[in-house]
Amino acid sequence: MTKLSVNINKVATIRNARGGNTPDVLKFAKNCELFGAEGITVHPRPDERHIRYQDVRDLRKIVTTELNIEGYPCESFVNLVKEVVPHQVTLVPDPPEALTSNAGWDTVKNEAFLTDIVSQFHEYGIRVSIFVDTDERNIRNAVKTGADRVELYTEPYAANYSLDRERAVADFVRAASVAAECGLKVNAGHDLSLLNLKYFHEQIPFLAEVSIGHALISDALYLGIEKTIQEYKARLK
């Protein structure tokens, strides 16, 4: 069964717009778990424009499913991960000032760097996933870094889904198959939604996990978070 991890960055964005603690990020995370989410994902950035480092510390104390921390492995991020020791860390290549993740790692060019980071996190017993595109070379080379999983960057699929879904998903099916052949489990995330998730999962049923934030939180504004999580989980059956 493919797990649903809810990225709660946008909840923190709303909170930070007015200060205070409304909406309550911790309460929201607990409700996501209560309503069926199998994980919570956060992407703390050094400027703390959404999830703050203290949020991560506080979430680690109350998350009972799986905490996934994603981010660029700058010094402050690495130190935070070692302090908190989440269940999973997802390494993304975007610099701290980037608006959102928009590309996968070149695992060949960055092999030595990634190998060192993965090794450090493995010393703490943390599962490591590397954010990649569908380039077979980058997936195969992710094995050399010691990573446990890859997360497929799915924005190109989402952008082309309404034009030709079979063509849009084809590269991802191939990429996931290559990863599985290499012994890597496969996660996926970025712009997956109620519209396109079911078909993606049907084509790659062995996905270990999907991490969804922006679309899911937006849907919750209309449907409520309980109903929204139920709808997303239904598409993963």
By annotation, the residues acting in catalysis are 43, 70, 190
Question: DSSP readout, 59-93?
Answer: HHHH--S-EEEEE---HHHHHHHHHH--SEEEE--
**Token digits of residue 113:** 């760097």
Query: 205 by DSSP, 3-state: which?
Result: coil
Q: What is the dihedral of CA 33, 74, 113, 104, to 10 degrees?
A: 60
Nearest CA to 86 out of 111, 114, 53 is that of 53
**Token digits of residue 52:** 């703050």
Those residues whose C-beta lies under 8 Å from the C-beta of residue 188, and which sit 6 or more positions away, are 151, 152, 154, 172, 200, 204, 207, 209, 210, 211
Nearest CA to 81 out of 40, 115, 39, 121 is that of 121
Residue 208 corresponds to which amino acid? A
Query: 102 by DSSP, 3-state: which?
Result: coil
